[in-house]
């Protein structure tokens, strides 16, 4: 029986995907793992583990590179929580334009003033005047699932949209609102935008992308919104810009100790995907990806292996994780041919230094053939389904 370990509380909507599987928090030697936020760096990996599915987009809590070396596929769920994050970004646009959080905090100080509260409110409200977002320019950095939804919602609210994404897919390009100004580089966004929202992953290239030099290129009084990862911004540079007025607001879903309590820094406690709808969507999507891989070998939305998927044909399916080096494919197919097995359909694709092969065969390979393939220096993992 296929066994799935649940490392975190996962939406019960995923349960239907695991009918016929052993699925609980008490699996000792799982074939697959469902996880949300649990740190897996020290998780004791056993040979049986084939895949980990993260019910969310970020995979910083999973040692992705180490798992790739072992032929363990790591899935995520891009887009499943996109609407929830989009709605938070729209809320933050209003928080950036209007001093709503400051005003609410001030009103709390009027407790106990009794009948004087209405007069005090009218007298003090002038300190919290803000600006509307209508007609302002929103800069979007990254047009993935979330960035596309944010751009469309902002345009519907009457904002001008300028954005950049060197990896913009044709599918997402079509989904952009009419009139969006796609530019060649981030500097053009910084120069034009009154509000900037970032939707890129944390990588060595994006870490600290919002530092002193970058912020200096922005409009005076710009609002910067970061719901991607805290490490994208240099907190010292942000605090300095808030103090000088270069930034009028910094709003982040990833607060750190330096930012908490800083004037005009609005710190949200990582609420982007914290809705039951988003958790349900992520759980179901992760469960479907995991079960399709365990049962059929198909890979979709993996962060460490290429997307390879095809309908089943033949009597057996051979799945091989291997290094992306020359002649590996020919060696694997030669081992299959030696046993007189015919390949009816196949796909092989690479992602960086790793690759994945699926072959549908007219009959199941013998253990001897599987062992021969597995003994190749370039092969990381082999299984027949």
Query: Which pLDDT tens digit goes with each residue over 156-203?
Result: 999 999 999 999 988 899 999 999 999 999 999 999 999 999 999 888
pLDDT digit string, tens, across residues 18-66: 999 999 999 999 999 999 999 999 999 999 999 999 999 889 899 999 9
CB crowding 331-354: b at 16 or more within 10 Å, else e: ebbebbeeeebeeeebbbbbbeeb
> What integer best gives the mean pLDDT of the chain?
96
Q: What are phi and psi of 112, to 5 degrees?
A: 100, -5
Confidence of residue 98 (pLDDT cuts 50, 70, 90): very high
Examine domains 82-267 and 308-385 and report if their fold is the same.
Answer: no
User: Is 3.40.50.720 the CATH classification of the domain at 82-267?
Assistant: yes
Domain regions of the chain by residue span: 1-81+275-305, 82-267, 308-385
Q: What is the pLDDT of residues 201-250, one digit of tens each?
A: 888 999 999 999 999 999 999 999 999 999 999 999 999 999 999 999 99
Interacting residues of 362 by C-beta distance below 8 A, sequence separation 6+: 314, 315, 341, 342, 344
Q: 1-81+275-305, superfamily in CATH?
A: NAD(P)-binding Rossmann-like Domain (3.40.50.720)
Q: Is the per-residue pLDDT at 358 higher than 90?
A: yes
* Class level of CATH domain 308-385: alpha beta
Q: What is the rounded average pLDDT of the residues 373-379?
A: 97
Model confidence at 336, pLDDT cuts 50, 70, 90, reads very high
- Average pLDDT for residues 327-350, to the nearest whole number? 96
């Amino acid at each position: 029986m296929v066994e799935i370990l649940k490392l975190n509380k996962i939406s019960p909507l995923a349960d239907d995907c695991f009918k016929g599987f052993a699925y609980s928090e008490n699996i000792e030697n799982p074939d697959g793992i469902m996880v949300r936020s649990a740190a897996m760096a020290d998780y004791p990996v056993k040979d049986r583990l084939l895949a980990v599915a993260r019910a969310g987009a970020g995979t910083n809590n999973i040692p992705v590179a180490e798992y790739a070396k072992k032929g363990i596929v790591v899935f995520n769920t891009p887009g499943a929580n996109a609407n929830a994050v989009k709605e938070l970004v729209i809320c933050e646009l209003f928080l950036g334009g209007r001093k709503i959080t400051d005003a609410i905090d001030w009103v709390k100080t009027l407790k106990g003033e009794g009948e004087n509260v209405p007069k005090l409110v009218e007298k003090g409200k002038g300190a919290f005047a803000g600006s509307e977002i209508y007609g302002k320019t929103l800069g979007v950095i990254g047009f993935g699932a979330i960035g596309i939804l944010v751009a469309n919602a902002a345009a519907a609210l009457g904002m001008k949209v300028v954005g950049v994404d060197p990896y913009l897919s044709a599918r997402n390009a079509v989904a952009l609102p009419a009139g969006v100004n796609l530019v060649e580089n981030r500097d053009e966004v910084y120069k034009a935008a009154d509000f900037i929202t970032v939707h890129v992953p944390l990588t060595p290239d994006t870490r600290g992308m919002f530092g002193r030099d970058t912020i200096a290129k922005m409009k005076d009084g710009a609002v910067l919104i970061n719901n991607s990862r805290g490490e994208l911004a240099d907190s010292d540079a942000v605090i300095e810009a808030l103090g000088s007025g270069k930034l009028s607001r910094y709003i982040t879903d990833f607060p750190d100790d330096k930012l908490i309590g800083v004037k005009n820094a609005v710190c949200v406690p990582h609420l982007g995907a914290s809705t039951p709808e988003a958790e349900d969507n992520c759980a179901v999507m992760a469960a479907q990806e995991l079960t399709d891989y365990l049962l059929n070998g198909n890979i979709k939305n993996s962060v460490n292996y290429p997307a390879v998927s095809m309908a089943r044909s033949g009597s057996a399916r051979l799945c091989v994780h291997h290094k992306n080096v020359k002649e590996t494919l020919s060696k694997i197919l030669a081992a299959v041919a030696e046993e007189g097995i015919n390949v009816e359909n196949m796909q092989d694709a690479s992602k960086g230094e790793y690759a994945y092969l699926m072959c549908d065969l007219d009959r199941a390979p013998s253990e001897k053939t599987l062992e021969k393939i597995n003994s190749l220096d370039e092969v990381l993992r082999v299984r027949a389904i």
